[in-house]
């Protein structure tokens, strides 16, 4: 395994947030240390307790929570991570990153980090194909961000189309390839 073994998972507000548990578990089984940062809105889909239990580490979700020891949460996580994987990544998070908005712990950590970034989008097919979202993805790719998926599949809205989170095995494989 690579000496780069610190993976920070950014979880955003998508119905696919439950799949982050499978990703965390697979990475840990492969010997990677995993920490989690989640947007406040992601808490509508999955709990911090679930992510903490699976990762074995405290979950960061509030940039302004008073820490037990002094640190700046997003900066500490940014320095720790070898790879930041945002899975699932919403159109909102992609837009924040493309425009340098650091208004949540996930986006602030990414913008503070020199780590490799892997984005795994998950959203409605019309959102994914929207010209603004496509432009934001193009911007991030031009800045060196890596992307995996989405793929065609069943979507929460009932549509079948592009916007389904890439498979857990492909996300984990791509993460490992980046960390080599």
Each residue's pLDDT tens digit, 51-78: 999 999 999 998 777 555 657 788 889 8
Residues 6+ away with beta carbon under 8 Å from 166: 120, 148, 149, 150, 151
Q: Which CATH number fits domain 6-179: 3.30.365.10, 3.40.50.300, 1.10.630.10, 3.40.50.1950?
A: 3.40.50.1950
With 80 as the cut, is the pLDDT of residue 11 above it? yes
pLDDT value of residue 157: 87
With 80 as the cut, is the pLDDT of residue 20 above it? yes
pLDDT value of residue 66: 59
Give me the mean pLDDT over the 77-94 stretch.
Answer: 96
pTM for this structure? Answer: 0.94
Q: What is 118-130 written as a DSSP string?
A: EEEE---HHHHHS
For the beta sheet containing 59-60, the strands, ordered from the edge strand earlier in sequence to the opposite edge, are 59-60, 33-38, 6-11, 83-89, 116-121, 146-147
Q: Can you give the residue ranges of every domain in the chain? A: 6-179
User: Which of the residues 72, 129, 156, 157 is marked catalytic?
Assistant: 157
With 70 as the cut, is the pLDDT of residue 82 above it? yes
With 60 as the cut, is the pLDDT of residue 1 above it? no
> Does the annotation count 21 as an active-site position?
no
With 80 as the cut, is the pLDDT of residue 140 above it? yes
Give me the mean pLDDT over the 23-28 stretch.
Answer: 98
């Amino acid at each position: 395994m690579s000496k780069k073994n610190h993976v920070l998972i950014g979880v955003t507000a998508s119905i696919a947030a439950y799949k982050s548990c499978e990703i965390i578990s697979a990475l840990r089984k492969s010997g990677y240390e995993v920490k989690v940062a989640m947007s406040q809105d992601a808490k509508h889909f999955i709990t911090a307790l679930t992510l903490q239990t699976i990762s074995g580490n405290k979950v960061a979700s509030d940039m302004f929570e008073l820490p037990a020891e002094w640190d700046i949460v997003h900066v500490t996580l940014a320095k720790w991570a070898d790879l930041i994987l945002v899975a699932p990544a919403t159109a909102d998070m992609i837009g924040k990153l493309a425009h340098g908005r650091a208004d949540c712990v996930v986006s602030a950590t990414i913008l503070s980090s020199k780590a490799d970034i892997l984005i795994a989008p998950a959203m409605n097919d019309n959102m994914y194909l929207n010209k603004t979202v496509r432009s934001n993805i193009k911007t991030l790719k031009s800045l060196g961000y890596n992307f995996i998926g989405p793929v065609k599949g069943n979507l929460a809205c009932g549509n079948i189309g592009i916007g389904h989170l890439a498979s857990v095995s492909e996300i984990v494989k791509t993460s490992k390839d980046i960390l080599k």
